[in-house]
């Protein structure tokens, strides 16, 4: 009899880590880009998601609003679907002691020259020559500590962070060479960036643009409607009686429909725009409907959480993260010869 493949139920799911920037509100571009990918991962892996409030110190030293920002970002992520019962969802600073210790050990195996040559460091140093702090050079080392503190095999990052992950892999190898196979070498899971066009028609949605150019996950239907009314559409359709150009390149509003509207709506718009049966005002009203159907469930969920709820959920996440971090720190101390028997 052919042997059946054995399902090994004892196999532990792989551990995944992702750090979330703690500055700025989320918009539809973030949701379609990074966030939806993140949500699909939490079912498959033993996930640790944290708000990178320590990393934020390199560029945001000001204590005012720090907690406010953490709560807002956490609310966005929880409303969008991060499940704090399934994943450990915490603020990085709540395990600062463990991270600082691991960061110190890792800093001893990482050559300074390579950190100074790192393109993201050079870029930041050039942009803020008056604030080239020690922490900025060590940014990738702290990131490595974030990953290794849970012995993560997988790291979800944007493409801009891949250089940091290469450094993390280098540090892991060097540490293991010196102290034995303590850590698995972490692998990146790259977020596939979906570039949602800005309402203004200029580039992609970005929170550094004016608030009218992006749809925030906090926008209510009325606000979305107002923003979409002002959106840039086909510049060649100067009169209602003229047909438009319902393509991604020809009309920014159509381009947005291509992401957010159902196929039947899209083909109806295409047909009626080409025969001038639909006007841009009506077409924008349809786009508003599509956008509202994506944003409104998230916004409603967001409203159901008080600040105290969020603080409580982060606290639960921190406890989980701390347990995992402390176990790893003990093992590291042992491997490095710091434990007296």
Based on the shown chain and the rule CB under 6 A, indicate whether residue 199 belongs to the binding site for ligand TRP. no
Instruction: Kindly state the tokens that stand for 9.
Output: 């139920």
Under 8 Å CB-to-CB from 149, ≥6 apart: which residues? 95, 98, 99, 102, 324, 325, 328, 329
Nearer to ligand TRP, 119 or 337 (CB): 119
- Pairing relation of β-strands 15-20 and 46-51? parallel
Which of residues 143, 149, 251, 283 is near ligand TRP by CB under 6 A?
Answer: 143
Give the CB-nearest residue to ligand TRP. Answer: 19
Which of residues 246, 256, 260, 292 is near ligand SF4 by CB under 6 A?
Answer: 246
- Residues 151-210 touching ligand SF4, rule: CB under 6 A, are none
List phi, psi (to 5°) of 67.
-65, -40
Phi-psi region of 62 (alpha: psi -120 to 50; beta: other; left: phi over 0): beta
Nearer to ligand SF4, 171 or 199 (CB): 199
Based on the shown chain and the rule CB under 6 A, indicate whether residue 146 belongs to the binding site for ligand TRP. yes
Q: Extract the runs of DSSP E, i.e. beta strands, from the chain.
A: 15-20, 46-51, 88-91, 154-157, 187-190
DSSP helix/strand/coil, 152 = coil
List phi, psi (to 5°) of 8.
-90, 100
Q: Which stretch binds ligand SF4 (CB under 6 A): 1-9, 250-258, 291-299, 312-320?
A: 250-258
- Residues 39-78 touching ligand TRP, rule: CB under 6 A, are 52, 55
Based on the shown chain and the rule CB under 6 A, indicate whether residue 288 belongs to the binding site for ligand SF4. no
Based on the shown chain and the rule CB under 6 A, indicate whether residue 147 belongs to the binding site for ligand TRP. yes
Residue 35: alpha-carbon gap to chain centroid: 6
Based on the shown chain and the rule CB under 6 A, indicate whether residue 322 belongs to the binding site for ligand TRP. no
Which residues contact ligand TRP (rule: CB under 6 A)? 17-19, 21, 52, 55, 143, 146-147, 155, 157-158, 161
Which residues contact ligand SF4 (rule: CB under 6 A)? 233-234, 237, 244, 246, 251, 253-254, 269, 273, 278, 280, 283
């Amino acid at each position: 009899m052919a042997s059946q493949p054995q399902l090994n139920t004892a196999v532990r799911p792989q551990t995944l880590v992702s750090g979330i920037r703690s500055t700025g509100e989320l918009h539809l571009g973030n949701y379609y880009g990074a966030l939806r990918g993140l949500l699909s991962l939490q079912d498959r892996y033993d996930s640790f998601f944290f708000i990178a409030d320590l990393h934020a110190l390199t560029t945001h030293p000001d204590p005012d609003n720090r907690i406010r920002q953490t709560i807002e970002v956490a609310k966005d992520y929880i409303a969008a679907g991060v499940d704090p019962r399934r994943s450990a969802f915490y603020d990085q600073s709540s395990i600062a002691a463990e991270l600082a210790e691991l960061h110190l050990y890792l800093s001893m195996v990482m050559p300074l020259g390579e950190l100074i040559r790192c393109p993201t460091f050079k870029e930041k140093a050039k942009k803020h020559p008056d604030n080239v702090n020690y922490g900025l050079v060590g940014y990738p080392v702290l990131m490595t500590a974030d990953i290794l503190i849970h012995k993560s095999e997988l790291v979800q990052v944007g493409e801009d962070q891949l250089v940091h992950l290469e450094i993390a892999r280098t540090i892991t190898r060097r540490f293991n060479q010196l102290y034995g196979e303590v850590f698995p070498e972490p692998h990146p899971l790259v977020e596939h960036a979906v570039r949602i066009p800005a309402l203004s028609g200029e580039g992609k949605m970005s929170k550094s643009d004016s608030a009218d150019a992006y749809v925030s996950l906090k926008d209510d239907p009325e606000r979305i409607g107002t923003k979409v009314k002002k959106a840039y559409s086909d510049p060649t359709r100067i009169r209602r009686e003229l047909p438009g150009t319902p393509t991604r390149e020809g009309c920014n509003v159509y381009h947005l429909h291509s992401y957010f509207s159902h196929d039947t709506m899209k083909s109806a718009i295409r047909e009626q725009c080409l025969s001038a049966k639909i006007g841009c005002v009506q077409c924008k009203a349809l786009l508003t409907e599509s956008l509202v159907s994506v944003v409104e469930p998230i916004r409603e969920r967001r409203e159901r959480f008080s600040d105290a709820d969020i603080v409580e959920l982060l606290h639960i996440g921190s406890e989980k993260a701390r347990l995992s971090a402390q176990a790893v720190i003990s093992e590291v101390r042992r491997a490095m010869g710091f434990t007296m028997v």
